[in-house]
Amino acid sequence: MPRTARNGSAPRFEPRPSQWSLRTRIVAVLAFTVIVLSGTIAAIGLTSLRSSLVDQLDSELHMLSSRVMFAVEPGSGPGEPGQSTGGSVDLGQIFDGPGASAGSILILANSAGVSGITLDSAFSVQSLSVEQLTAILSDWPDSASRDATPGDGLGGYRFLLEQRGDSTVVVGVPLAPVEQTISSLGVTMAIVAILGCLGLGSLAAWYIRHELRPLERVAATAESIARTPLERGAVDLERADAPGEGAATEVRRLVSGFNAMIDQVAQAFGARNASEEKVRRFVADASHELRTPLASIRGYSELTRRMSDDLPPDAVYALGRIESESVRMTSLVEDLLLLARIDEGQELELRPVALGELIADVVNDAAAAGPEHEWSADLPDGTVTISGDPGRLQQVLVNLLANARVHTPAGTRVTISLQELPDTVRIIVADTGPGIPEAFLPRLFERFTRDDSSRARATGSTGLGLAIVHAIVHAHHGTVGVRSAPGDTRFSVELPRSSPTPS
Ligand SMILES: Nc1ncnc2c1ncn2[C@@H]1O[C@H](COP(=O)(O)OP(=O)(O)OP(=O)(O)O)[C@@H](O)[C@H]1O
Ligand SMILES: [Mg+2]
C-alpha cells in the first residue's frame, strides 16, 4: 500500500541568492520592488513639494521686495522707473512691516553703497557683515532668485533680487522651515515604507508558504523515495498529501500528476517483484526437484563403478566422471536452493550463537580437509554470543575457509580471528595466499563470479560461495568486506550482537 508523506523539510537560510528557495526569491523581489517604488515615489514627492514650498517663498519674497522697493523708490510703481531716494535710508524702518519675519534679510545697493540687515529672533535689526554680503551677492545667477548661505550662524536662505532705478533690493528668508517640512515628511515616508515593506514581506511569505506547502510535501516525498532502496524486493512508495480545496490549480495538477506517477511506478515495481518472486520460486522448486534425480545418478554411478572388474577402463573412467560431476551439480543445486530461500526472505532461526565454539569447530573441520595448510584461530577470552541462525552462520565460515583452502597453494597460513566491538562482532578470515586480482574485487560477492585464471576452475568451483556469504550476512543485518594483496587476503564479516527481525 502506498504510504503518504507527512512532513516537509524545514527551509534553511542560504547566504547565496543562487541557493535561495522560490519563496525567499519571490519575497526578496517583492521587497526590492516595494523599496525601489517607495524610494522613487518619496524622491519625486519630496522634490515637487520642496519646489512648491520654494515657489511659495518666492511669491512672499516678491511681495516683500515690492514693499521694500516702494519704500526705497517711492515714485515708482511696479515695473515703472521711479524717483530714487538717491541716498542712505533707514533699512530697519523699511523692513519693519508685513512680510518680514525673524531671520529675514534685506540688502539695499544704491549710489550710497551696499548695506544689509537681518532680523534676529527678537525682531531686532542686526547689520550684515561684509563677508555675509559678499557670500549672498557674489556670483549671482541670471535668475531673479537664488539659494545661498550667508554664513556666520545663518543657514540656507532663499533670496530674491529686484532692481529699479539705481536701487537694487535683495530680500531673503531662511529655508529652514522648508527643509524641516521636507525632512520630517521624508522620515514619515521612510517609516511608512519600511513598515509597508515588512508587512507586505510577511504577508507575501505567509501566502507563498501556504500556497507552496503541497509542493514542499511533494519535494519531501520525492527525496524520501530517492532514499528508498529500489533495486530489489517489494517497494513501498510514499504518495504526497493531496492539497486542500483552496489550492491553486497548477499545484493540484502537479500533486495529482506526481501521485499518478508514483502509482504507476509502484505498479511497475509490484509487477517486477511478482516476476522476481516467480523466478525465485521456480529456481527453488527446480533445485528442490533436481536433488532426488541427482542423488539417484550419483548412487547408480557409484554402484556401477564398484563393479568395475566387469567393465572396460573407458567405462570406469566415464562412470568416475559422471559421479564427480553429479557431486558438483548436487553442491550447485544445494547452493542455488539456499540462495533462493534467502532471497525469498525465509525466516532465520534466531537463537544465541557462541561464536568462539562455532569458529573452533569450523577451523578443525577445515584443518582436517586441508592438512597441507596451516590453520590457526585467534579468539578472545570468554564466550562471545550473538543472536543469529547457527546453521547459516556456520555456512558463512565454511565458505570463507573453503575459499582460503581451495584458492591458495599448500603451505598457506590461514588465520580466523574474532573481535568484539561495542555493538557488533567482527570475524576476520586472513590468508597468506596469492590474493585476488584487484579488477575482480568489486564483483566478488556477485553470483557466479569466479576468477577463471585461478585454481577455481580446476577445483570445479561454481562461484556461488561468496554470494551465499553476502546473502546470509545481510539477512543478519551485518556487512562483509574484503581487502586483498599478494600474501595478505582478508575477509571481514561484521555482525550485530542482536540480530533484529531478519530482512
Ligand atoms: N581466499 C581467497 N584467495 C584467492 N582467491 C579467492 C579467495 N576467496 C575467493 N577467491 C576468488 O573468488 C572467487 C569467488 O569465490 P566464491 O567462493 O564465490 O566461488 P568459488 O569458490 O569459485 O565457488 P564455490 O564457493 O561456489 O564452490 C573464487 O573463484 C576465487 O577466484
Ligand atoms: Mg568458494
Q: pLDDT 10s digit of each residue in the chain, 503 long? A: 444 444 444 555 566 777 787 788 888 888 888 889 889 999 999 999 999 999 999 998 898 888 888 877 665 544 443 344 444 566 677 776 666 778 888 888 888 788 888 888 777 888 888 888 888 888 888 888 888 888 877 889 999 998 887 888 899 999 999 999 999 999 999 998 889 888 888 898 888 888 888 888 888 888 988 888 877 777 788 888 887 777 778 888 888 899 999 999 999 989 988 988 888 888 889 988 998 999 999 898 888 888 877 788 888 888 888 888 898 899 889 888 888 888 877 778 899 999 999 999 999 999 999 999 999 999 998 889 999 999 999 999 999 999 999 999 999 999 999 999 988 999 999 999 999 998 889 999 998 887 766 555 555 678 899 999 999 999 999 999 999 999 999 999 999 987 555 44
Q: How many domains does the chain have?
A: 3
Which pLDDT score is estimated for 3? 47
* 167-174/105-110 β-pairing: antiparallel
| Ligand 1 within 6 A of CB of 400 | no
My answer on whether 472 and 366 are in the same domain is: yes
368: CA distance to ligand 2 center in Å? 17
Q: Closest ligand 1 atom, CA of 404? A: 1
Please report, for residues 190, 405, 431, 486, the alpha-carbon distance to residue 411 in angstroms, rounded to integers and kept in the order given: 90, 10, 10, 15
Residue 56 lies in a domain: yes
479: CA distance to ligand 2 center in Å? 18
Residue 336 lies in a domain: yes
Which pLDDT score is estimated for 52? 94
My answer on whether 328 and 267 are in the same domain is: yes
| Ligand 1 within 6 A of CB of 108 | no
Closest among 93, 94, 109 to 64, alpha carbons compared:
94
Residue 46 lies in a domain: yes
Ligand positioned closest to the Cα atom of 491:
1
CA distance 368 to 373: 10
My answer on whether 196 and 331 are in the same domain is: no
Which pLDDT score is estimated for 79? 40
Using DSSP's 3-state secondary structure scheme, residue 160 falls into strand
Q: Phi first, then psi: what are they for 428, rounded to 5°? A: -120, 125
| Ligand 1 within 6 A of CB of 217 | no
My answer on whether 102 and 211 are in the same domain is: yes
> C-alpha 422: how far from its chain's center?
33
421: CA distance to ligand 1 center in Å? 28
Domain with 34, as residue range(s), is 1-220
| Ligand 1 within 6 A of CB of 304 | no
449: CA distance to ligand 2 center in Å? 10
My answer on whether 5 and 134 are in the same domain is: yes
CATH of residue 490: 3.30.565.10
Looking up cell 562482532 gives 425
Q: Closest ligand 1 atom, CA of 454? A: 31
What angle do the packed helices 313-343 and 465-475 form, to 10 degrees? 20
342: CA distance to ligand 1 center in Å? 20
Q: Phi first, then psi: what are they for 339, rounded to 5°? A: -65, -45
Q: Going by CA atoms, what residue is nearest to atom 22 of ligand 1?
A: 463
Residue type, 118: T
Q: Closest ligand 1 atom, CA of 431? A: 1
Which pLDDT score is estimated for 503? 47
My answer on whether 339 and 363 are in the same domain is: no
Specify the long-range contacts of residues 368-374, CB closer than 8 Å, at least 24 apart.
Answer: 369/402, 369/405, 370/405, 372/410, 372/411, 373/404, 373/405, 373/408, 373/410, 373/411, 373/412, 373/413, 373/414, 374/411, 374/412, 374/413, 374/414
My answer on whether 324 and 362 are in the same domain is: no
My answer on whether 342 and 355 are in the same domain is: no
Using most ligand atoms within 8 A of CB, pick from 403, 405, 488 the residue to mutate for ligand 1.
403
Q: Closest ligand 1 atom, CA of 460? A: 27
CA distance 353 to 355: 6
Cβ-contact 89, 72 below 8 angstroms = yes
Q: Tell me the β-bridge partners of 490.
A: 430, 483
CATH of residue 298: 1.10.287.130
Residue 260 lies in a domain: yes
335: CA distance to ligand 2 center in Å? 11
Cβ-contact 388, 495 below 8 angstroms = yes
Domain boundary pick from 320, 346, 372: 346
Cβ-contact 418, 385 below 8 angstroms = no
Secondary element (H or E) of residue 324: helix 313-343
My answer on whether 185 and 319 are in the same domain is: no
Residue 501 lies in a domain: no
Residue 503 lies in a domain: no
| Ligand 1 within 6 A of CB of 465 | yes
- Ramachandran sector of residue 448 (left: φ over 0; alpha: ψ -120 to 50; beta: rest): left
Domain boundary pick from 178, 194, 220: 220
278: CA distance to ligand 2 center in Å? 27
Domain boundary pick from 346, 380, 407: 346
Using most ligand atoms within 8 A of CB, pick from 324, 331, 461, 469 the residue to mutate for ligand 1.
461
Residue 68 lies in a domain: yes
Residue 324 lies in a domain: yes
Which pLDDT score is estimated for 86? 43
My answer on whether 442 and 369 are in the same domain is: yes
Q: Which residues contact 348 (CB under 8 A, 6 or more apart)?
A: 388, 389, 392, 475, 476, 499, 502
448: CA distance to ligand 1 center in Å? 10
My answer on whether 274 and 294 are in the same domain is: yes
My answer on whether 87 and 24 are in the same domain is: yes
Which pLDDT score is estimated for 474? 92
| Ligand 1 within 6 A of CB of 395 | no
